[in-house]
């Protein structure tokens, strides 16, 4: 058992911290207020190699360190939940092309995704297929050399700003989940349009949109993986994505903790700094304990993935716990800032709003419990 980070992981942390300090933190409040997608920073994260970390060297990846990837999302999450979420979502389709793409698909897309020349999105959810992701109604019918897609996806992160979408559609309804397939769809494909852009409680700088497919024709080479294997592919993607979401949640909790300690040292009431109040110190101790536990769970899940061991249960545990910790810590952070915590000039109110999504997307907390229980009881 070794709890030390490798030199490479330490270097990644140092590099991403500098990037966050110089580029992400200064605009975090502003892009939240203006609901503005941080395109320039996402492009830079790609250009500087942060999205390359866990991917094949053959296509410009850095060779696979899942803990480093978790560190990147965690460090970004400390200052901007939205940018961390966008990055985590971008990793998911990239990972699926890396794992399931044909040689041609990898040649065409992988390097572009790794460098963020293309921004990626993953579209599973539909109005009637949320937690029950198997209830996909979007159809894909093979017609000669093309698949024709019809249907609507909702709540899709990076929707409207992405260049590259992995879309799940039913190719054979009679086979249930074994009739779901995954497809690559580029923006500007005729028959594909963006519908409603969501106005959200948190991660306001991220884009969340409806995708509409109306006789959208794509070459049959755009099938990702085998026909009928789309549901399995999605579950593999989500297992991995959940470590990303847990890292985002961990970062948010750590960021709120840092802000709170700083504030309590500065603010005086009853003739002494708030940090000296035992009642508040007890809150801090509780917050720190939960953060430390979440950190262990996140890194453990990432470690299992990078060493090729099963990690479905551990990824779900990490997401379930870290997202609840993010909510607990950010909520307490607002409380300990008093009235100032409720004001937009302090970042903790944004952190509290941003934390909520980590309990919902890529599987709600209730669904995480089902995943964990299924792994225990099977």
Ligand X SMILES: Cc1cc2nc3c(=O)[nH]c(=O)nc-3n(C[C@H](O)[C@H](O)[C@H](O)COP(=O)(O)OP(=O)(O)OC[C@H]3O[C@@H](n4cnc5c(N)ncnc54)[C@H](O)[C@@H]3O)c2cc1C
Alpha-carbon span 5 to 81, nearest angstrom: 24
- Least distance from ligand X to the Cβ atom of residue 93, Å: 9
15: phi then psi, degrees, rounded to nearest 5 = -65, -45
The CA distances from residue 308 to 91, 286, 368, in Å, are 18, 34, 21
Q: Which is nearer to ligand X, 54 or 81 (CB)?
A: 81
- Report the residue from 157, 171, 248, 358 that binds ligand X according to the rule CB under 6 A: 157
Binding ligand X (rule: CB under 6 A), the pick from 49, 60, 64, 130 is 130
Radius of gyration of the chain, Cα coordinates, nearest whole angstrom: 21
Q: Choose the binding region for ligand X from 7-15, 119-127, 269-277, 300-308 (rule: CB under 6 A).
A: 119-127
Size of the site for ligand X (CB under 6 A): 20
Question: CB 153 → ligand X: shortest distance, Å?
Answer: 7
Q: Which is nearer to ligand X, 71 or 154 (CB)?
A: 154
Question: Does 374 sit near ligand X (CB under 6 A)?
Answer: no
| x/- track of binding to ligand X for residues 175-204 (CB under 6 A) | -------------------------x----
Residue found under tokens 């003739």: 271
Q: Which residue is nearest to ligand X (CB)?
A: 130
- Asked if 366 interacts with ligand X (CB under 6 A), we say yes
Task: Give the range of 36-44, 116-124, 169-177, 210-218 binding ligand X by CB under 6 A.
Answer: 116-124
- Catalytic residue, chosen from 74, 288, 362, 366, is 362
User: Does residue 156 touch ligand X according to CB under 6 A?
Assistant: yes
Closer residue to ligand X (CB): 68 or 88: 88
* Candidate residues 315, 361, 371, 372; the one interacting with ligand X per rule CB under 6 A: 361
214 is catalytic: no
Distance CA 257, CA 77 (A): 12
Contact with ligand X (CB under 6 A): which of 41, 87, 94, 208? 208
Q: Indicate which single residue of 37, 109, 155, 346 sits in contact with ligand X (rule: CB under 6 A).
A: 155
Q: Which of these segments, 9-17, 155-163, 295-303, 326-334, binds ligand X (CB under 6 A)?
A: 155-163
Among 45, 123, 149, 246, contact with ligand X (rule: CB under 6 A):
123
- Please tell me whether residue 212 binds ligand X under the rule CB under 6 A: no
**For ligand X, the closer CB: 208 or 330:** 208
Interacting residues with ligand X between 31 and 60 (CB under 6 A) = none
| 3-class SS letters over the chain | CCCCCCHHHHHHHHHHHHHHHHHHHHHHHHHHHHCCCCHHHHHHHHHCCCCCCCCCHHHCCCCCCHHHHHHHHHHHHHHCHHHHHHHHHHHHHHHHHHHHCCHHHHHHHHHHHHCCCCCEEEECCECCECCCCCCCCCEEEEECCEEEEEEEEEEEECCCCCCEEEEEEECCHHHHHHHEEEEEEECCCCCEEEEEECCCCCCCCCCEEEEEEEEEEEEHHHEECCCCCHHHHHHHHHHHHHHHHHHHHHHHHHHHHHHHHHHHHHCEECCEEHHHCHHHHHHHHHHHHHHHHHHHHHHHHHHHHHCCCCCHHHHHHHHHHHHHHHHHHHHHHHHHCHHHHHCCCCCHHHHHHHHHHHHCCCCCHHHHHHHHHHHHHC
Closer residue to ligand X, CB minimum distance, 102 or 374: 374
> Binder to ligand X among 71, 114, 124, 204 (CB under 6 A)?
124
**Nearest-approach distance from CB 217 to ligand X, in angstroms:** 22
* Residue 31 CA: distances (Å) to CA of 159, 172, 202, 258, 355: 17, 43, 12, 21, 16
| Contact region with ligand X (CB under 6 A), list: 53-61, 71-79, 301-309, 362-370 | 362-370
Contact flag: residue 360 with ligand X (CB under 6 A): yes
> Which residues bind to ligand X, rule: CB under 6 A?
89, 122-125, 130-131, 155-157, 200, 208, 357, 360-364, 366-367
Query: Which residues are part of the catalytic machinery?
Result: 362
């Amino acid at each position: 058992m070794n709890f030390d980070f490798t030199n490479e992981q330490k270097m990644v942390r140092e590099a991403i911290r500098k990037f966050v300090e110089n580029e992400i933190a200064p605009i975090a409040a502003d892009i939240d207020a203006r609901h503005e997608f941080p395109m320039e920073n996402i492009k830079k994260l790609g250009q500087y190699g942060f999205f390359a970390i866990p991917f094949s060297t053959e296509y410009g990846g850095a060779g696979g360190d899942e803990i480093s990837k978790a560190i990147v999302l965690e460090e970004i999450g400390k200052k901007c939940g939205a940018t961390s979420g966008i990055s985590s979502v971008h990793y998911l389709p990239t990972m699926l092309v890396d794992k399931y793409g044909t040689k041609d698909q990898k040649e065409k897309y992988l390097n572009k995704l790794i460098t963020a020349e293309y921004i990626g999105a993953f579209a599973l959810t539909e109005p009637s297929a949320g937690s029950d992701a198997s209830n996909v109604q979007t159809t894909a019918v093979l017609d000669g050399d093309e698949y024709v897609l019809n249907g609507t996806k909702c709540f899709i992160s990076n929707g409207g700003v992405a260049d590259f979408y992995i879309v799940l559609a039913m190719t054979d309804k009679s086979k249930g989940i074994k009739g779901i397939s995954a497809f690559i769809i580029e923006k500007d494909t005729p028959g594909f349009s963006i519908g409603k852009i969501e106005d959200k409680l948190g991660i306001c700088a991220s884009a969340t949109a409806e995708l509409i497919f109306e006789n959208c024709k794509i070459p049959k080479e755009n099938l990702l993986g085998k026909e009928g294997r789309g549901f399995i592919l999605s579950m593999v993607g989500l297992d991995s994505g959940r470590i990303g979401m847990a890292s985002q949640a961990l970062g948010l909790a750590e960021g709120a903790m840092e802000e709170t300690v700083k504030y309590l040292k500065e603010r005086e009431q009853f003739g002494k700094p708030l940090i000296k109040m035992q009642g508040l110190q007890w809150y801090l101790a509780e917050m720190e304990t939960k953060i430390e536990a979440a950190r262990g769970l996140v890194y453990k899940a990432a470690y299992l993935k990078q060493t090729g061991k099963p990690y479905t249960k551990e990824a779900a545990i990490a997401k379930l716990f870290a997202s609840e910790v993010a909510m607990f810590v950010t909520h307490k952070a607002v409380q300990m800032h008093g009235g100032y915590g409720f004001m937009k000039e302090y970042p903790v109110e944004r952190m509290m709003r941003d934390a909520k999504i980590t309990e919902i997307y890529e599987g709600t907390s209730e669904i995480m419990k089902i995943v964990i229980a299924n792994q225990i009881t099977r």
